[in-house]
Amino acid sequence: MERILRTLCGVGAPSGFERPAVQEARELLEPLVDEVWIDRLGSLVGVRRCGKPEAKKLLLDAHLDEVGLVVTGIKDGFLRFQASGVDVRMLPDREVTILTQPPMLGVVACLPPHVLSAEDREKAPEIKDLFVDTGLSQEEAEQKIPVGTPMVYRTDFAALGERQLCAKAMDDRACFTALLRTAELLRDGELDVDLYIVGSVCEETGGVGAQVMARGVSPDFCVAVDVTHGKTPDSPKDGAFVMGGGPVVGIGPNMARWMVQRLLDKAEKLGMAVQKEVMEGSSGTNGWGMQIANEGIATAVLSVPLKYMHTPVEVVEPGDIEDTARLLAAFAERLGEEAAL
């Protein structure tokens, strides 16, 4: 699992520029399913067919895009940019990878505290006031870095203590790793549904990849697998979840009640600890758009706790990823027979 996470998180692939992550994910998925393809928007899908006539379809989705930046202009060799999902507070003095060929190092310029006024030291920066320093002249930067070039956080993949892993892009490649593990757990077993494993694009910019995929595949059931907020000393009491406390089952209008109950029942039979997240409106995941695709799709949302979402130091616990996969595998088994449609 650590090897797969290191591979997927090491790829720079922000929203709209996901192809490198999709290609890595495809190589990992192909041995586990019967067929793999990439749709017109660039999302990855693999299918494991059960071989039964007129079998129902279960779609498991995790998005492959990450938050990032896009170059909008160059001034004196410094890059202007816009952000996609990035918290601007994270940017000053941050290293970034400029996704040219080959990739280049950049650093987000910042004024030293010595020259900031007391008022400016108390304010969060605005993106219009930030630049990426390339170390290049204006002419060199214009030649090497076209407008429209994407950029991502530049960080190392590292262990945090004995149980947790830290990297960029754990949102949502940790969950795609869980889908790979689900397919592995189900590989030698019998299914009564066709299983679709999807690595969707553009979740961070509205979820269009998963919506298009759901319309094309037309599944009977779908599960959006995404991250949710892990508990830290400063997190809200009822809005964050225990790291290592198991997968988080979403409850609310975005989820079919019988699917929620099935997840809870399967966890109980497995003797697995799970957590519950009440989502009173949109779940903030691909489940929101997939639910209303075509004539409507029975939907569930299952989440992995993650600390420091949309930062360069996203943290997950592999045990939560493993339990998410085990729960999804149990959910898929005999689903065609037991589904409460």
Task: With beta carbons less than 8 A apart as the criterion, state whether 133 and 191 touch.
Answer: no
Q: CA Rg, the chain, in Å?
A: 21
Q: How far apart are the C-alpha atoms of 283 and 288, rounded to whole Å? A: 6
Is 139 an annotated catalytic residue? no
What's the burial of 270, exposed, middle or buried (CB within 10 Å: 0-12/13-18/19+)?
A: middle
For the CA atoms of 84, 89, 94, 100, the dihedral, rounded to the nearest 10 degrees, stands at 10
Q: Which residues pair with 221 in a beta bridge?
A: 58, 298
Which one of 18, 24, 66, 203 is the catalytic residue? 203
Task: With beta carbons less than 8 A apart as the criterion, state whether 247 and 237 touch.
Answer: no
What's the burial of 49, exposed, middle or buried (CB within 10 Å: 0-12/13-18/19+)?
A: middle
Tell me which residues are annotated as active site: 203
